[in-house]
């Protein structure tokens, strides 16, 4: 179903929502000279040092607002995500547009709520305005979807994103500059997508599916360029990724544009997410007929 594909696209976008959170670094760089109340630190030269410092900053904040503007294959994805990351207590409010269609989601109390469009309500023959998917259901169909969505939300967790930089990326170069008038360290990063596949997806795929993916990756240039802007508080303020070359190498049309931009703000601002009223909610799997 087309709507399900759009939910997958949103889930994929959410996997790159924020970066940060984790353990305290053993050492931090010396502050650069000048720079006001918080001097901009000297840029790191290795991914591990960058990640550990960013974890310290975002671990304190936990919450942020992310603005997304990008492409996932042929799907244009834009929108805003307000998120608070705290393991099982994670909650978020996402308002996205995927290929011109609005997709609203809320995650609260381990239940995913999906806003139903007028077209969907007519298709499903329901007056309900929300569908829900419990992430902890033991019923096979709900469990399968819940596991997939949970994986996406976990990958959106700041700790997971920094793990991606630390374990699958390397810093090509860096500079000190300004972004919207704010002093930042600007990092040029290169990701190894094969390492990302092995780290985050390899163990979850059945053997035949893993073999198929490995075959498609064989002989391909799997380097993905990215840029990351970090402020004086070691908080990400912007990130870009360009998967265009990788997508074309995997057989996508020459016209494909897989560039994405993530802008972060409101670090540490409280995120209030409430479930919709019970009377407005139906079981999403039942609405879809399984």
Domains of the chain: 2-287 (2.50.20.20)
What's the Rg (C-alpha) of the chain? Answer: 20
278-289 confidence digits (pLDDT tens): 999 999 888 887
**CA–CA distance from 260 to each of 39, 188, 241, 242 (Å)?**
29, 15, 5, 6
User: CA-CA distance, 278 to 193, in Å (whole number)?
Assistant: 42
Give Cα 124 to chain centroid, integer Å: 30
Asked if the model's pLDDT at residue 273 lies above 90, the reply is yes
Q: What is the pLDDT of residue 147?
A: 72
Q: What is the pLDDT of residue 26?
A: 34
Structural contact between residues 20 and 66, judged by C-beta atoms closer than 8 angstroms = no
Asked if the model's pLDDT at residue 88 lies above 50, the reply is yes
Nearest to 280 by CA among 131, 140, 128: 128
Q: What is the pLDDT of residue 232?
A: 93
Residue recorded with tokens 């889930």: 11
Helix, strand or coil, per DSSP, at residue 205: coil
Helix, strand or coil, per DSSP, at residue 144: helix
Q: What is the pLDDT of residue 218?
A: 78
Helix, strand or coil, per DSSP, at residue 206: coil
Helix, strand or coil, per DSSP, at residue 277: coil
Residue recorded with tokens 């919450």: 63
Residue recorded with tokens 């995650």: 107
Which residues in 210-249 are b (16+ Cβ under 10 Å) and which e? Answer: beeeeeeeeeeebebbbebbbbbbbbbbbbbbbbbbbbee
Give, in degrees to the nearest 5, the angle at Cα 96 between 92 and 97: 170
Kindly report the number of other CB atoms within 10 A of residue 289's CB atom. 7
Higher per-residue pLDDT: 61 or 32: 61
Asked if the model's pLDDT at residue 64 lies above 60, the reply is yes
| Confidence band for 113, pLDDT divided at 50, 70 and 90 | very high
The strands making up 236-242's β-sheet, listed across from edge to edge, are 169-179, 182-192, 223-230, 236-242, 259-265, 63-72, 75-84, 91-98, 101-108, 111-115, 130-134, 281-283
* Average pLDDT of span 78-107: 87
Residue recorded with tokens 């990400």: 236
Q: What is the DSSP string of 218-254?
A: TT---EEEEEEEE-TTS-EEEEEEE-HHHHHHTT--T
230-265 confidence digits (pLDDT tens): 999 988 899 898 988 877 877 778 888 888 898 989
161-205 confidence digits (pLDDT tens): 667 778 888 899 999 999 999 999 999 999 888 787 776 665 666
Please tell me the least confidently modeled range out of 7-21, 76-90, 227-241.
7-21
Asked if the model's pLDDT at residue 27 lies above 50, the reply is no
Asked if the model's pLDDT at residue 2 lies above 60, the reply is no
User: CA-CA distance, 287 to 271, in Å (whole number)?
Assistant: 29
Q: What is the DSSP string of 3-14?
A: HHHHHHHHHHHH
Asked if the model's pLDDT at residue 56 lies above 90, the reply is no
């Amino acid at each position: 179903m087309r709507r399900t594909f759009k939910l997958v696209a949103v889930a994929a976008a959410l996997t790159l929502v924020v970066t940060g959170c984790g353990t305290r670094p053993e050492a931090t760089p010396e502050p650069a000279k000048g720079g006001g109340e918080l001097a901009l630190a000297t840029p790191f030269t290795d991914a591990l040092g960058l990640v550990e410092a960013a974890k310290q900053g975002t671990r304190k904040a936990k919450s942020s607002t992310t603005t997304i503007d990008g492409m996932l294959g042929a799907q244009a994805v834009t929108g805003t995500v307000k998120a608070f990351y705290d393991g099982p207590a994670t909650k978020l409010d996402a308002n996205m547009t995927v290929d011109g269609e609005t997709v609203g989601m809320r995650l609260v109390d381990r239940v995913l709520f999906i806003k139903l469009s007028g077209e969907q309500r007519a298709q499903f023959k329901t007056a309900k305005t929300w569908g829900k998917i419990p992430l902890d259901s033991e019923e096979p169909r709900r469990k399968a979807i819940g596991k997939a969505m949970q994986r996406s939300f976990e990958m959106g967790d700041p700790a997971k994103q920094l793990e991606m930089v630390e374990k699958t990326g390397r810093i090509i170069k860096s500079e000190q500059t300004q972004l919207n008038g704010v002093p930042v360290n600007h990092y040029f990063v290169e990701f190894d997508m094969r390492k990302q596949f092995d780290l985050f997806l390899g163990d979850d795929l059945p053997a035949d599916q893993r073999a198929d993916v490995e075959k498609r990756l064989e002989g391909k240039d799997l380097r993905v360029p990215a840029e990351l802007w970090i402020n004086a508080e070691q908080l990400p303020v912007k990130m870009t990724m360009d998967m265009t070359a990788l997508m074309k190498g995997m057989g996508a049309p020459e016209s494909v544009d897989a560039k994405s931009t993530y802008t972060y703000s409101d670090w540490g601002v409280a995120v209030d997410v409430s479930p919709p009223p019970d009377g407005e909610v139906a079981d999403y799997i039942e609405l879809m007929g399984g």
